[in-house]
Amino acid sequence: MVKVNGEAKDIAGKSIAEYLATTSYDMRRIATELNGEIVPKAVYADTVLADGDSMEIVSFVGGG
C-alpha cells in the first residue's frame, strides 16, 4: 500500500506517471513529493512506487 495524501492506495509497483494518469490532476499544476523529497516531473515515468511509500500531491490554484 502507498499513502497518497494520507489515504492508503493499492498502487505499489506503478510509476508516478501511471498513477497520475488514472486521476483528474492537471499535470501542469501539480507538485509531487515522495517520502519527503520533491520529485521532478521529468522522472515521474521512471519513479516506481513501493509498498510503504508516502506521496503527497499538491495542486496549484491561481487567484489574486
Task: Please report, in tens digits, the pLDDT of each residue of the chain (64 residues total).
Answer: 999 999 999 999 999 999 999 999 999 999 999 999 999 999 999 999 999 999 999 998 877 6
61: left (phi over 0), alpha (psi -120 to 50) or beta: beta
Cβ atoms of 53 and 7 within 8 Å: the answer is: no
How much is the pTM? 0.91
Distance CA 29, CA 1 (A): 25
* Domains of the chain, start order: 2-59 (3.10.20.30)
